[in-house]
A and B are shown apart, each in its own frame.
Chain A
Amino acid sequence: MSETQDYEKAAASSPSSVAVFAAHDQGAVKRIQHALHQTPWMVPAIVLAASILVFGLLLGEKFFSPFALTLILQQVQIVGILGAAQSLVILTAGIDLSVGAIMVLSSVVMGLFSFRYGLPTELAVAAGIACGTFCGFINGFLVAVMRLPPFIVTLGMWQIVLATNFLYSANETIRAQEIAEQAPLLQFFGNKIAIGGAIFTYGAIFMVLLVLFLAYVLRQTAWGRHVYAVGDDPEAAELSGVQVKRTLISVYMLSGLICAFAGWALIGRIGSVSPTSGQLGNIESITAVVIGGISLFGGRGSIMGMLFGALIVGVFSLGLRLLGADAQWTYLLIGVLIIAAVTVDQWIRKVSV
């Protein structure tokens, strides 16, 4: 095959340095784009810091106090916990519209098992957690094995779980007083630690620990890498040796489990067990995830960003309320933030360096 070799001879005398990446100056904008590509939680972190600063300057002591700042933590704890569940699902390029409903059903199961059946509270809590995990399993099974779109599956489950919740609870609320007297464990996450003016509820602490734990798992374990790979390109993940179905089911089950913990924290937050509470959980958690810079197309973003996203919403709500503004301003600004966050996400994706 002498003629085969001929055309390659010309290449042999060419410079031998191959594909050296010139460290040419790319300009500030390109560098920012590149930095954001590598650390996607930077945008929400900056927005959070800036918004705290702005409200701090406008409101002074009233906002910039340990009490007010920890109040924000308390107010976002439920959304933060649900957002952690939502983040996992969205990282796999799915979406979970049923998080709020699973949370409420789990809390109702905990309440009714304690009060209607008179079971020990520990057992009731375990049953609630099992219930949430099982709901997650149904989601995961339908998405991974039946290959139904996550949006449709969780849209259906949202209605099913919510209806089950109302039918099962007969729309009855268990009052905070009764819980405090007979089953204080249900209000566990409502316990507080006060340090100076700062008040940390167990629920808020749990939210932060949960996010840190999941950040570790996603970054440092094989399972975490697989979650990203599945969200990025499920076929490629399958071919390169990831058990896609198993990963997806485990993600939805973990999401359900976390929602059940959110249900437990919800009892601590509002004191009572109410089947009508937490109705906006799904939309608020998706908002936190999107503002946190996690891509709805899957495979990109960090769970820390979600926490910052939830806190941004908390800072805006409290800050604007303290300023005496109409609550609608909060929603308006959050709408702007959502669209801005997705715009930034699309821009970051175009990085080519």
Chain B
Amino acid sequence: MQPILKARDLVKRYGRVVALDSCDFDLYPGEILAVIGDNGAGKSTLIKAISGAVTPDSGKIWLEGREVRFHSPLDGRHAGIETVYQTLAMSPALSITDNMFMGRELRKPGFLGSVLRQLDHKAMESFAREKLNELGLMTIQNINQAVETLSGGQRQGVAVARAAAFGSKVIILDEPTAALGVKESRRVLELIQDVRSRGIPIILISHNMPHVFEVADRIHVHRLGRRLCVINPKDYTMSDAVAFMTGAKEPPPEPLAA
């Protein structure tokens, strides 16, 4: 099987710090790939290189077999890659709807939209409401309330809903359950499986081992800026995984294929 997203020899340096050290990456169609690694291992940089938020110094990325070069997050998004960043990337003073449609606003049909460039607030609101209900992550009273008036968990819910609603090829979730309570986390995990059942592969970055082992098909262990190994969660225990990523244990000799 061909990977839907493939990266080879990615290098990214910040001054003298090497965040990505000729890192490889493979994501196969329809799978949930977890990326785990210690703090500072370069997980976030890897994700940003894939989503377009960071341009790698060297290395190549292929999406569905075609080489891609992203120069901005917008490029990645146009290619069908949606990302929920750890920082959530939302504008606090703007409404939920504004945030969901940032950079891809809907305009009214006809003269109002094409000439007066008027936004179709109604259509965007009903779409946003529908997506949030689908997610079932929260009861939002007012879809036009500012994001800063939401709790941390609700904000995360909006960010996940945004990615799930628009991601067509790949969805990347960077610590999607970090700020969530037990029940909200459960909903996000259900959502992840729901998205996979629609055939869209997911990259999940998480420190939460139970969550990772529950939903992931494969686990990419990241260490010191590169892929240390890829393991199947059925063959290893959580403590093995932690041992690999902290360097307490040597990785298995052959990287596991899909």
The SS class assigned to the B binding surface is: loop
B89 contacts A1, C-beta separation under 8 Å: no
A8-B182, A18-B139 are known contacts. Are A241 and B88 too (CB-CB below 8 A)? no
Give the CA-CA distance A235 to B73 in the complex, in Å.
Answer: 11
User: Could you say which of B72, B141, B183 contacts A243, with CB atoms under 8 Å apart?
Assistant: B72
Count of chain B residues near A, Cβ 8 A: 42
Q: How far is the CB of B131 from chain A (nearest CB, A)?
A: 15
Q: Is A28 an interface residue (CB 8 A)?
A: no
Chain B positions within 8 Å of A237 at CB level: 91, 102
Choose the segment among B6-14, B61-69, B146-154, B248-256 that binds chain A (4+ C-beta atoms closer than 8 Å).
B146-154
Q: Is B196 an interface residue (CB 8 A)?
A: no
A21 contacts B102, C-beta separation under 8 Å: no
A19 contacts B151, C-beta separation under 8 Å: yes
User: Could you say which of B91, B104, B149 contacts A228, with CB atoms under 8 Å apart?
Assistant: B91
Give the CA-CA distance A243 to B184 in the complex, in Å.
Answer: 32
| CB under 8 Å from chain B, chain A span 210-249 | 217, 220-223, 225-226, 228-229, 232-233, 235-243
Interface flags, A133-154, vs B, CB<8A=1, else 0: 0000000000000000000000
Give the CA-CA distance A20 to B139 in the complex, in Å.
Answer: 6
| CB under 8 Å from chain A, chain B span 133-171 | 137-139, 141, 146, 149, 151, 153-154
The count of A-to-B residue pairs whose CB atoms sit within 8 angstroms is 107
| CB under 8 Å from chain A, chain B span 85-120 | 85, 87-94, 98-99, 102-105, 107, 116-119
A1-B210, A236-B89 are known contacts. Are A221 and B73 too (CB-CB below 8 A)? no
Interface flags, A332-353, vs B, CB<8A=1, else 0: 0000000000000000000111
A11-B183, A225-B119, A241-B77 are known contacts. Are A300 and B93 too (CB-CB below 8 A)? yes
Q: How far is the CB of B32 from chain A (nearest CB, A)?
A: 15
Of all chain B residues, the one with the shortest Cβ separation from A233 is B91
Instruction: Select the residue from A7, A220, A352 with max chain B CB neighbours within 10 A.
Output: A220
Chain A positions within 8 Å of B182 at CB level: 7-8, 11
A1-B210, A222-B105, A242-B102 are known contacts. Are A232 and B139 too (CB-CB below 8 A)? no
Q: Which 9 A-B pairs have the closest CB atoms?
A: A241-B103, A239-B89, A222-B105, A4-B210, A232-B91, A229-B91, A236-B89, A240-B102, A221-B117
